[in-house]
């Protein structure tokens, strides 16, 4: 078995990051190794070596390998394949974790929109204006009451009834304002709790992103090392010929 284009292609890029105000998958995707790869094994057409036919790694044209050299080449080739299989196994979990993080980011963007406080701020502003208008209305009523009391016996029953009617309206408005104040206070408390819980989630997600980036960087570094070793193998073994009898002996454990 020899390295071929399909095995080499397993060193493709792993993952891409994404996000907004929530922590991002900030690292670059896995670096793609060069696309050059030696051809699949095929029987060489070079002249036969003494005592045995000569074969090669792909379209080999290099010098004939000794049995010991061939043994090393086969061993290095097997090791490279195992390392590629390890990369295949590591890539799946990385992609799954990336998707999980991206899904959580989307959910948190929706949650953040619900607790951004815009509607609550508008309600508080309206309550403030309403309270100000009530205070001004109450002040005018107080002035009328004082004028009524100062008038003494000259005050009329109509003035008294009007003041009493206004007082009832003021008391009703005061009750409505108090109910609104308590409602807004409850909303503010609930929002503060929601913001605190949201921030806890953000920090937890940030930890996941940091850990993912570490794993992704390690994956990329391993890709680079494997590709460098593959190129070194190609230089020392990939263009060399070897005796068929040596391959048979090595495969049989000799």
Phi then psi for residue 52, to 5 deg, are -165, 155
Please write the tens of the pLDDT for every residue from 131-177: 999 999 999 999 999 999 998 888 889 999 999 999 999 999 999 99
* Nearest-angstrom CA–CA distance, 209 and 76: 35
Q: What is the pLDDT of residue 13?
A: 33
Helix-, strand-, coil-residue percentages of the chain, each rounded to 5? 70, 5, 25
Q: What is the pLDDT of residue 60?
A: 59
| Contact yes or no for 81/93 (Cβ under 8 A) | no
Please write the tens of the pLDDT for every residue from 46-76: 344 444 566 777 655 778 899 999 999 999 9
* C-alpha 170, offset from chain centre: 56
How many CB atoms neighbour CB 12 within 10 A? 14
Q: Which residue has the higher pLDDT, 198 or 113?
A: 198
| Contact yes or no for 172/134 (Cβ under 8 A) | no
């Amino acid at each position: 078995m020899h390295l071929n284009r399909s095995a080499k292609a397993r060193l493709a890029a792993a993952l891409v990051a994404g996000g907004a105000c929530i922590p991002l998958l900030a690292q670059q995707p896995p670096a793609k190794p060069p696309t050059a790869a030696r051809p699949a094994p095929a029987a060489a057409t070079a002249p036969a070596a003494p005592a045995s036919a000569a074969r090669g790694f792909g379209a080999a044209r290099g010098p004939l390998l000794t049995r010991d050299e061939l043994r090393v080449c086969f061993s290095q080739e097997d090791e490279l394949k195992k390392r590629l299989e390890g990369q295949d196994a590591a890539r799946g979990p990385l992609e799954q974790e990336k998707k999980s993080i991206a899904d959580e980011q989307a959910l948190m963007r929706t949650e953040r929109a619900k607790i951004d406080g815009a509607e609550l701020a508008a309600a508080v502003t309206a309550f403030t204006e309403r309270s100000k208008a009530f205070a001004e209305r109450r002040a005018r009523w107080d002035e009328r009451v004082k004028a009524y009391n100062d008038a003494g016996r000259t005050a009329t029953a109509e003035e008294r009834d009007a003041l009493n009617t206004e007082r009832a309206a003021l008391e009703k408005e005061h009750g409505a304002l108090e109910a609104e104040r308590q409602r807004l206070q409850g909303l503010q408390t609930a929002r503060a709790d929601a913001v605190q819980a949201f921030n806890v989630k953000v920090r937890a997600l940030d930890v996941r992103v940091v850990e993912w980036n570490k794993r992704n960087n390690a994956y990329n570094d391993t890709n680079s090392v494997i590709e460098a070793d593959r190129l070194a193998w190609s230089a020392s073994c990939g263009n060399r010929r070897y005796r068929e009898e040596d391959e048979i002996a090595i495969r049989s454990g000799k």
